[in-house]
Amino acid sequence: MSTVALKRGAAPPRRKPVAARKPAPATLALPVSAPTLRRNVGMTAAGLVLLATAVVTSLMGIPQRAWQDFVRQTADAGYEIRHVEINGAEELSRLAVYDAALSGPTNAMLAADLHAIRDRLLAMPWVADASVARRLPDTLAITIVERKPAALWQHRQRFAAVDVTGRVLTTRNLERYASLPVVVGPGANLHVRELLMLTAAAPALSAKVDAAVLVGGRRWDVKFKTGETLALPDTPAAATAAFKKFASLDAGEGDENRLLGGRFERFDMRLPGQMTVGGPAVQKALEEAAKAAKAAKTQKPTTI
């Protein structure tokens, strides 16, 4: 059997190992160009949000300058704060709202710090709550919930409108709030809610209240429009009970049966179940009683 010798060719030259390419460093090139953005200024809000999300994701680890460049280009394309829409501001100055909205380092819409704007609004006396939202491409929508004046606070010969928490709202144009109850004394503003709950227990009598003086930071002296003063106990429950009791006593038919109206000056109900009165009628009655007692002593006994 013949054999065939197979000759192998020369071994191919060994290839030099190829060094793995290092990933190209991220560049500052933007995912979209400014002209493209300009052509798409009319894109929907949802589309821009998705775009912004994609940009933020793609820029992870890229220098802050890239994001700033992108924000600047979106602003050039029309995504810039040019309008501020304000809802719910009646007492609050609109100029103050504009100032809070536009106090950031830039007016670029994507760079607007909504939380910081809201915090600036909440620091204003009239603002109880606020919401801030973007309305693309160029509007900030701000909704304000204002505090409501509940009383006038008199302290050191000055007046201020306050809400139920005692927060001072304004010291100007107070004639608008002339119908509100007046609380007097240091710290009286912090007890407005307590006073309103007390007077609400007797609405008819509450309508006759002119002011309430906080005594010792613990209890109220209620001043009525007819000039009398009612001293109440120093606990909310006892004060409410005394106020309701006084209202029932003053609700008698006929002026001669009412407590308010000029016959008395002061009613003291600080002790439970008791009321001490003072005023012209009381003084007159005491004087007449003293005269009667004196006459009884000097009168000679009658002999039969």
The CATH number assigned to the domain holding 276 equals: 3.40.50.11690
Phi, psi of 259 (to 5 degrees): -80, -35
Q: Give the helix/strand (H/E) hosting 56.
A: helix 45-58
Indicate whether 72 belongs to any domain: no
Indicate whether 180 belongs to any domain: yes
Contact 152, 177 (CB under 8 A): yes
Indicate whether 189 belongs to any domain: yes
How far apart CA 47 and CA 27 sit, in angstroms, is 24
Q: CATH number of the domain that 95 lies in? A: 3.10.20.310
Does residue 120 sit in the same domain as residue 183? no
Q: What contacts 24+ positions apart, CB below 8 Å, involve 278-282?
A: 279/228
Which of 124, 146, 168 is the C-terminal boundary of a domain?
146
Does residue 105 sit in the same domain as residue 228? no
How far apart CA 228 and CA 206 sit, in angstroms, is 14
By CB atoms closer than 10 A (0-12, 13-18, 19+), residue 229 is: middle
Indicate whether 188 belongs to any domain: yes
How far apart CA 82 and CA 299 sit, in angstroms, is 98
Number of domains in the chain: 2
For 200, the token pair is: 């609400």
pTM of the model: 0.69
Indicate whether 293 belongs to any domain: no
Does residue 161 sit in the same domain as residue 266? yes
pLDDT tens sequence across 220-251: 999 999 999 999 999 999 999 999 999 999 98
Domain containing residue 177: 152-286
Indicate whether 264 belongs to any domain: yes
Question: In the chain, which stretches have pLDDT less than 70?
Answer: 1-64, 66-67, 76, 253-257, 280-297, 299-304
Does residue 107 sit in the same domain as residue 192? no
pLDDT tens sequence across 119-174: 999 999 999 999 999 998 999 999 999 999 999 999 999 999 999 999 999 999 99
